[in-house]
Amino acid sequence: ARFHGGVRVPSSTTENIAYRQRQQLNEQAKQRIARAVAKAVPENCSLIINIGTTTEAIARELLRHKGLRVITNNLNVAAILSDNPDCEVIVAGGVVRSRDRGIVGEATVDFIAQFKVDIALIGISAIEADGTLRDFDYREVTVARAIIEHSREVWLAADHSKFNRPAMVELARLDQIDVLYTDAEPPEPFPALLAEAGVTCHVAVP
């Protein structure tokens, strides 16, 4: 296991860190990423926002945006953005996971398949050196795949700890992503992989 700021980080490919620990892990980095993403999100657009502590940080930064239509499978995101009177929030149906209030399952995939939005804002558990984006829960991955498929642009928000981290289930490849927001220059071999995949990388510095 590795340690980040007193939080134990398992190196398991099958088990993610507990939700409350993830909320504290790299919190300042996530806030910087969230501010950079929100600054780039235009007003009067449609979004899909998925499960994750980074995407929840993004939602908090969107509270003053106008004219947003947001589809989400994250009850925390829905609760945050419901405080924005100029944002219509649409919650996907499915099974609610008690540990992080994410919504997953076949019903969620079918619900998302009805839409085509301007931008997907997605978080991820791991980016491996072979250019794959990975996560731990197969049901969550199937929903994330549907989100990517039904979005005109895909923006990935991932802090530095996600690079070279193992996870079991392949979600997508870098060439399915349009923009990456992170908090530090990606380590080798990722700069070349990102360039080859045509991904624009934004580093949110302090």
- Does 190 map to a domain? yes
- Does 120 map to a domain? yes
- Does 4 map to a domain? no
- Does 174 map to a domain? yes
Banded pLDDT at 13 (limits 50, 70, 90):
low
According to the model, what pLDDT value does residue 15 have?
A: 54
Cα 146 to Cα 167: distance, rounded to the nearest angstrom: 19
Q: Which domain holds residue 140?
A: 26-203
Q: Is the pLDDT of residue 25 over 90?
A: no
pTM of the model: 0.89
- Does 18 map to a domain? no
Banded pLDDT at 56 (limits 50, 70, 90):
very high
According to the model, what pLDDT value does residue 155 have?
A: 99
- Does 7 map to a domain? no
Summarised one tens digit per residue, pLDDT across range 97-134 is 988 899 999 999 999 999 999 999 999 999 999 999 99
> What average pLDDT does the segment 172-186 reach?
98
Domain count, the chain: 1
SS3 label, residue 98:
coil
124 with 161: CB under 8 angstroms?
A: no
Nearest to 155 by CA among 183, 186, 118: 118
The CATH number assigned to the domain holding 159 equals: 3.40.50.1360
According to the model, what pLDDT value does residue 206 have?
A: 82
DSSP 1-34: -EEETTEEE---SS-PPPHHHHHHTTHHHHHHHH
Nearest to 22 by CA among 47, 50, 54: 54
